[in-house]
Amino acid sequence: MEHDMVGLEPKLKKDLHPEEMLRIIFDFAAKIANERNLDNVLMLMADMGRDMIVSDRCTVWLLDKNKNELWSKVAHGMNEIRMPSTAGLVGHAVTSGKAVFIDDAYENEEYKQFLINGALKVDKQTGYRTKALMVIPFRNNEGEIMGAYQAINKMTESGQFSSKDMEYLTLASSYAGKSLESALLTNEIEETQKEIIFTMGEIGESRSKETGNHVKRVAEFSYFLALGLGMSQEEADLLKMASPMHDIGKVAIPDEVLKKPGKLTEEEFDVMKSHTNIGYNLLKNSTRHILKTAAIVAYQHHEKWNGKGYPCGIKGEEIHIYGRITAIADVFDALGSERVYKKAWELDRILNLFKEERGHHFDPRVVDVFFEQLPNIVKVRDAYSDFNLAEKTENSH
């Protein structure tokens, strides 16, 4: 966090004129209404509040009732921050349902106990000087407290927050509340979908005895490859959610084939190959974005750049980019893992195969990104390593 020294060099601002206020409300309301991503809604709300009341900082906290925590997101690329729902002034405000105003955090006696463990502690770590502080809880349509606005340091001459500021933040939260609720709902739906997808992916896995974290690793590798290829954060997230289902069709493959310790006969391999069509047919009719993506991945992850893959034998850019990405992610993980039919390979051996197969099995561009992303990929591999893989990973460095 930056070490801004409020007070040393006071650049005083003025409260907004009504036209300026309207402009800000209008601009932000339009942006927020179009935003479905929860983190972005939170950050837009915070910026709107900050601009409306001319504070130095503004944070929107949300109450997570399942975990009894307050959480927030203050900047792009940063992790969310969390604290117990009873902690600090924000905790006090959402628990009591009452707004809190403080003119100088260092002189205040009434809330001293909260300040010592909250704002004052944060100041000590960051060198920031919290003076004026305001926390306004806000509610959903049902009247339940959803979270709170926290504003720090009023940048006008008075240096103090007023009841007008409270009204403005209350207004801001009611403007944003609908979007926030729908973003929360979307978030919940997506969380549920993610769980279902992982569970389904695991079914495919456990049937084939592929070790614990395979689907998770393939998801993470695919994510890094997508970002490295220049895809948007949203698309990379989408692929990360969908790619765990690439082998879902293995649920329908008979045990004699799936769990055969040795090499498959040609007929057996033909049966095995049908896991791509089976997965596709299972998923293709869904209207959900994630499952549609998963259908593509299940269908195309064994296609090859040179057209010698299956089930369709399409080649080059006829293969969807999601298929070309997960092909690499899947083979990288399959080779590095023990299977009933093979031992795990050392990293160097895998990398050599990737160099050889660049432009043959694999899209050359994705192979290049794979090598650029290798540090991230190896990190993921180690973080989600299987028990029996840990040793091999050590050796291969």
Nearest by Cα to 101 from 58, 165, 146: 165
Of 12-20, 46-54, 176-184, 279-287, the window that binds ligand SIN (rule: CB under 6 A) is: 46-54
Residue choice 60, 296, 335, 366 for contact with ligand C2E (CB under 6 A): 335
Q: What is the nearest approach in angstroms of ligand C2E to the Cβ of residue 369?
A: 19
Give 298-334 as a 3 state SS string: HHHCCCCCCCCCCCCCCCHHHCCHHHHHHHHHHHHHH
> Choosing from 154, 216, 240, 250, which is the catalytic residue?
250
Which partner in ligand SIN, ligand C2E, Fe ion, none is near 264 (CB below 5 to 8 A by kind)?
ligand C2E
Q: Judged by CB under 6 A, does residue 243 bind ligand C2E?
A: no
Using the CB atoms, write b or e for 44-65: b if 16+ within 10 Å: bbbbbbbbbbbbbbbbbbbbee
- Binding residue for ligand SIN (CB under 6 A) from 190, 202, 268, 346? 202
Bond before 311 cis per omega within 30 degrees: yes
Q: Does 324 bind ligand C2E (CB under 6 A)?
A: no
d(CA 120, CA 93): 17
Which helix (H) or strand (E) element contains residue 278? helix 275-283
SS3 385: coil
Could you give the C-alpha distances from 341 to 241, 344, 386, in angstroms and in order? 28, 10, 17
Smallest separation, CB 331 to ligand C2E (Å): 4
Interface stretch with ligand SIN, choices 114-122, 173-181, 321-329, 343-351 (CB under 6 A): 114-122
Long-range contacts from 68-71, C-beta under 8 angstroms, 24+ separation: 70/94, 70/147, 70/148
Q: Is 361 in the site for ligand SIN (CB under 6 A)?
A: no
Judged by CB under 5 A, the stretch of 62-70, 152-160, 242-250, 281-289 that binds Fe ion is 242-250
Which residues make up the interface to Fe ion (CB under 5 A)? 247, 330
Q: Which residues are catalytic?
A: 250
Which residues make up the interface to ligand SIN (CB under 6 A)? 46-47, 50, 57-59, 74, 88-90, 114, 118-119, 122, 198, 202, 205, 212-213, 215-216
